[in-house]
Chains A and B, each alone.
Chain A
Amino acid sequence: MGSLVNTISPDEQEAILLTLGVSLRAVGVGLPLALLAATLLSRAFPGRFVLHAFVHLPLMLPPVVTGWLLLLVFGVNGPVGALLERWLHLRLVFTEAGAALACGVMIFPIMVRSIRLSLDAIDQKLLQAARTLGAGAFDRFLSITLPLAAPGVLAAAVLGFTASIGEFGAVITFAASIPGQTQTLPLAIYAALETPGGEAVAARLSIVSIFLAVAGLGIAELLATRTNRGKTR
């Protein structure tokens, strides 16, 4: 491993750090929203199916289509993109923030599903008990639901982070592949394979990807087993 680290070039390091930063932002912004969506989806309300379908769309669509839809909405002339540019001077297309947005949208359904699993595992009878003990709806969410779902929420974050590292289609469509700005690991690997003699670079970055993916999966698994413990009473 030591020799691998030593042979990684500054450009490659930049790609790795960029990827980690983009994924961190994707999870950081996406997780609270995913928690909100999962909470909404775990109860019955009119229009529930519409939200359900909307949240899960990126999972079903080809990533290129998702990226293109993002361009339409968040592009410089898109309805949301134009407003962001005018009011916040925030440009998403072809920027690092845009890459984070594309990753966040792609991993959103994964995080929602993982959180919902842990929300559904919570015994509703505990919430009834809390209610008779004087806890209102928001109080119950903070004092019972959230702590009991916490391992699942953490697992969602890790899973989302890991999946985000591997996003390709939506990122390249929406944010392009600009080294140092939007060229995350998979884009860098693809670019290296396109370049004559780039196999060594691709191999090194691939090993890093595999390492990150396996580590993320292991942590998520560990958190998932913790969720299932001590929840029967």
Chain B
Amino acid sequence: MILTVEIEHRYRTGGISVAFQAPSPGVTALFGPSGAGKTTVMNAIAGLLHPKHIRVELNGLALHKIPTARRRIGYVFQEGRLFPHLNVLRNLQYGFTRAPHGPIGRDDVISLLGLAPLLARWPHTLSGGERQRVAIGRALLSQPRLLLMDEPLSALDQARRDEILPYLARLRTAFELPIVYASHALDEVMRLADTLVLLEAGRQRATGKLTELVARVDLPLAARPDAAGVLRGKIYTHAPDRGLTCIACGADILWVPMVAAMEGTDVRLRVSAREVILALYEPRAISVTNVVGASVCALAALENEHAVLVELDLDGGGQLLSRVTLDAASRLDLRVGMKLLALIKAVAVELQPE
């Protein structure tokens, strides 16, 4: 099952050209700064814009040949766009009543998004976060073949974003639905995406698995202050006597402070590039819990910041990113292909269920 998108479009100030394939179901993030062309791509997929060339295929179905109103692509807009003359329930019903009978049930959506207390309310009385939840529910209930989300959190403050992110994470797994998610916030993308499409001024800079692209030192992501590596794993076991949870990431084992989750749960781990210590020999009598073997895959120096970015291939299969000083890099004599140890503090691992 695969989603194929090809779009080429020109307008007065420039143009846009993207082509990517992503596994379906799964979350594909269009990541780039404002003006990179994310909304143009979304509008073209939805059929609200007709570019020079377009091909959108989902499991062999040519969506771009279907008229917009019958294309059944759910679209969650940045500003919600709830209908002001309909209450929340009737907003939710709008797409539902117009769609053929489908697998996404009204009660499931209402409970997944916590909409029950809002049903009788009017859009103008909702908070920004509530409004976006209703907009998501409305799009889901139209039984979409594909869900587009255009910066659904960008109009919200941090507290509201934290309120909605768990709902979005649940959405990934609750419905077997391919999602295209546009954002300029790296933390959202690292929490949600499976596939990453990097956009820069209408050009597609790179496309690939999120876990691989975030560690690539030749891409602008790695130089950001919030750069991090992402690993995917499974909860292997808990060690209550040590207060730790053991996670299997490929063939590697990582310990994190104990979490309340079932063994076998799929999880996503995020390790900031600044928190990955490099060592040539196994340290002794050190507080760091995790010591994993790795090899240097690529290096990039940030001369202005006197820092070096190190792309690491873990022996167990994952990729991590380490940011060290220029001085440290020269003391260790870091070179591509070199075997070393990555030290990761248990408390520095940010864990979230898939």
Count chain B CB atoms within 10 A of each CB in A125, A133, A134 and give the residue with the most.
A133
Q: Tell whether, in the assembled complex, residue B68 and residue A230 are in contact, meaning their CB atoms are under 8 Å apart.
A: no
Partner of B75, one of A129, A139, A231, A232: A129
Q: Are B81's CB and A125's CB within 8 A? A: yes
Q: 5 closest A-B pairs (Cβ-Cβ)?
A: A133-B95, A134-B98, A129-B81, A132-B75, A147-B85
Interface contact B94-A148, CB-CB below 8 Å: no
**How many residues from A make CB contacts under 8 Å with B?**
21
Given the known interface contacts A125-B77, A230-B124, A233-B124, the answer about A131 and B69 at a Cβ–Cβ threshold of 8 Å is yes
**Interface status of B323 (Cβ within 8 A of chain A):** no
Q: Which residues of A contact B139 (CB under 8 A)?
A: 132-133
Between A and B, 15 residue pairs with Cβ closer than 8 Å are A125-B77, A126-B84, A128-B81, A129-B81, A129-B83, A131-B69, A132-B46, A132-B68, A132-B73, A132-B142, A133-B95, A133-B139, A134-B69, A134-B72, A134-B95
Smallest CB gap from A147: residue in B: B85
Chain B contact residues, CB within 8 Å of chain A: 46-48, 68-75, 77, 79-85, 94-95, 98-99, 122-124, 131, 138-139, 142
Q: Is there a chain B Cβ closer than 8 Å to A20's Cβ?
A: no
Contact in complex: A136, B81 (CB < 8 Å) = no
Separation of A59 and B75 alpha carbons in the complex (Å): 44
B85 to A148, Cβ gap below 8 A? yes
| Chain B residue, CB-CB nearest to A146 | B85
The one of A130, A147, A233 in contact with B79, judged by C-beta atoms closer than 8 angstroms, is: A233
CB within 8 Å of B: which residues of A?
Answer: 123, 125-126, 128-136, 139, 143-144, 147-148, 230-233
Known: A135-B98, A233-B123, A233-B124. A130 touches B83 (CB 8 A): yes
Q: Which residues of B contact A136 (CB under 8 A)?
A: 69
A162 to chain B, nearest CB (A): 26
- A22 and B165 alpha carbons, distance in the complex (Å): 61
Q: Which residues of A contact B46 (CB under 8 A)?
A: 132
Query: Chain B's nearest CB lies how many Å from the CB of A129?
Result: 4
CA distance in complex: A125, B68 (Å) = 14
In the docked arrangement, what's the CA distance between A134 and B94, Å?
A: 9
Instruction: Note all chain A residues with C-beta closer than 8 A to B69.
Output: 131-132, 134-136, 139
B174 to chain A, nearest CB (A): 20
For B131, list chain A residues within 8 Å (CB): 233
